[in-house]
């Protein structure tokens, strides 16, 4: 099995690459070099990067679950004028770039919808499928660094749930703008690092779900030590302030937590999201230990969070989305 990633070898069949760009293939015996084990979990081995979560089997299952949750919440694989942007143009290959692709589910699903489009997925670790479709290519890349492609190489850049990997979103947007052709599309989708009550609810989170509220307060303080501040609702303003894009189109979606929703599809989504949040809390435990919390404090925090999200009806996660075109 091989996995393409940036290294000092030429890659002849990609005419969108810089002349100085390098792509080679990762052999199976190279995979362990990208991981290390701590507290019984597997993490990326790139020590300077702030991403706090494991990258092992349980976390990959959570990412796959989250992909299905967001697809069903939004009711499709994308928002915005994607079909227009990716329509065939004579003598030009259309290209899509998925940032922090994780297990690669989104590029694979998009590739089935757009079989003539070249789709790239980049991540800091090789956890995407090693059997991609012919027009899907996964690469290892730190998204805080310059990408290998020429200016204007991409038609669509997709950035979903990347806030735990980016400490300077405006800087990332500058690189996104460089990569996009004029008229190209940028999409951002981030689940806020908090929970809320559904539209129309008059409940007080501090009173009705105090443990869940405290959980996110503690988690956000720990993440901020890594310079990972909450940005889900700030991305539209980053887009506007860059002066590189059209005015962003903003949509916000509520993801139910648990099975309280009356709609059968959203009831199923709520059950899936409840499970995903439990897994998320479990995956955060090693980071909380680094923040000098005792095991008892961590267990109390997580068990209280789970108690609230399991038994308080009407709770939701908030999915913030924005898309804009390169001017």
171-188 pLDDT, tens digit per residue, is 999 999 999 999 999 999
Instruction: Answer whether residue 32 shows pLDDT above 80.
Output: no
pLDDT the model gives residue 5: 42
Q: How many domains does the chain have?
A: 1
Instruction: Answer whether residue 104 shows pLDDT above 80.
Output: yes
What's 80's DSSP letter? Answer: S
List, for residues 38-54, the tens digit of each pLDDT value. 888 999 988 678 999 99
| Residue-number span of the structural domain to which 167 is assigned | 2-192+228-254+315-325
What percentage of the chain carries pLDDT values higher than 90? Answer: 83
Instruction: Answer whether residue 6 shows pLDDT above 70.
Output: no
Minimal CA–CA distance to 175: which of 157, 196, 201? 157
Residue 212 belongs to some domain of the structure = no
Residue 47 belongs to some domain of the structure = yes
**How many other CB atoms are found less than 10 A from the CB of residue 207?**
8
Residue 109 belongs to some domain of the structure = yes
Angle between helices 210-224 and 264-290 (to 10 degrees): 50
Residue 217 belongs to some domain of the structure = no
The CA-atom distances, in angstroms, between 236 and each of 17, 84, 186, 322 are: 29, 22, 11, 6
List, for residues 74-84, the tens digit of each pLDDT value. 999 999 999 99
Residue 223 belongs to some domain of the structure = no
> Token pair of 186, please?
């940028």
Whole-angstrom distance, CA of residue 158 vs CA of residue 105: 13
Q: What is the pLDDT averaged over residues 100-121?
A: 98
- Where is 218: in which H helix or E strand? helix 210-224
- Where is 268: in which H helix or E strand? helix 264-290
Residue 180 belongs to some domain of the structure = yes
**Cα three-residue angle 171-177-182, rounded to 5 degrees:** 170
Instruction: Answer whether residue 7 shows pLDDT above 50.
Output: no
Residue 100 belongs to some domain of the structure = yes
If one compares 45 and 248, the residue with the highest pLDDT of the two is 248
Residue 184 belongs to some domain of the structure = yes
Kindly report the CATH number assigned to the domain that includes residue 167: 3.40.50.150
């Amino acid at each position: 099995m091989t996995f393409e990633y940036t290294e000092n070898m030429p890659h002849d069949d990609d005419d969108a690459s810089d002349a100085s760009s390098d792509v080679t293939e990762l052999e199976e015996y190279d995979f362990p070099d990208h991981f290390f084990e701590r507290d019984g979990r597997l993490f990326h081995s790139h020590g300077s990067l702030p991403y706090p979560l494991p990258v092992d089997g349980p976390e990959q299952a959570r990412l796959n679950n989250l992909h299905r949750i967001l697809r069903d919440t939004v009711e499709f694989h994308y928002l915005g004028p994607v079909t227009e942007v990716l329509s065939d143009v004579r003598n030009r290959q259309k290209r899509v770039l998925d940032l922090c692709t994780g297990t690669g589910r989104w590029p694979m699903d998009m590739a089935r919808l757009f079989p003539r489009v070249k789709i790239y997925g980049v991540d800091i670790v090789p956890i995407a499928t090693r059997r991609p479709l012919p027009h899907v290519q996964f690469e290892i890349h730190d998204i805080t660094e310059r990408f290998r492609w020429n200016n204007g190489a991409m038609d669509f850049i997709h950035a979903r749930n990347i806030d735990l990997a980016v400490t300077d979103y405006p800087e990332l947007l500058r690189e996104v703008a460089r990569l996009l052709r004029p008229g190209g599309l940028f999409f951002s989708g981030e689940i806020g690092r908090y929970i809320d009550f559904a539209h129309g609810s008059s409940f007080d989170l501090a009173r009705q779900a105090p443990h869940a509220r405290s959980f996110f307060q503690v988690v956000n303080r720990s993440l901020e030590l890594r310079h990972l501040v909450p940005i889900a609702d700030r991305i539209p303003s980053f887009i506007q302030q860059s002066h590189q894009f059209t005015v962003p189109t903003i949509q916000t979606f509520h993801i139910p937590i648990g099975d309280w929703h009356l709609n059968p599809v959203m009831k199923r989504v709520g059950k899936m999201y409840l499970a995903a949040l439990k897994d998320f809390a479990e995956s955060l435990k090693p980071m909380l230990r680094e923040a000098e919390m005792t095991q008892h404090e961590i267990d109390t925090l997580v068990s209280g969070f789970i108690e609230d999200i399991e038994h308080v009806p009407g709770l939701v996660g908030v999915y913030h989305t924005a898309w804009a075109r390169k001017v």
